[in-house]
Amino acid sequence: MEPFTLTQWVVVLLVFFLGIFLGGFVFASTKWKRRYREESRLRAEEVKLREEEVRRREVLEAERKHFEARDIAARAHDDRPLPPR
């Protein structure tokens, strides 16, 4: 059996790297698309959760101000101490 020449080794290496390159595109395309879509979905959910958290904080702050104003008005109306909550 004759040994490979340098040209044959170069062809073998090029075919090997071409196989790795094409295999990466063919087999990984769906995996990366799925991961990208999942990451995009998670990012959108995170934005929604942050918006919901801000909205809840605003509601709680408005309620707190309302109850403080009610307590102040009650104290001004009569001087009895308010019962503890």
The encoded tokens of residue 17 equal 């790297």
The encoded tokens of residue 68 equal 């403080």
Q: What is the pLDDT of residue 41?
A: 97
The pLDDT averaged over each successive group of 10 residues in the chain (85 residues) is 90 96 80 89 98 98 94 76 69
pTM, whole model, 2 decimals? 0.50
| Residue type, position 78, single letter | D
Q: What is the pLDDT of residue 29?
A: 72
Q: What is the pLDDT of residue 81?
A: 64
Q: What is the pLDDT of residue 55?
A: 98
Q: What is the pLDDT of residue 80?
A: 64
Query: Which uninterrupted H or E stretch holds 80?
Result: none
Q: What are the CB-based long-range contacts (under 8 Å, 24+) for 28-33?
A: none
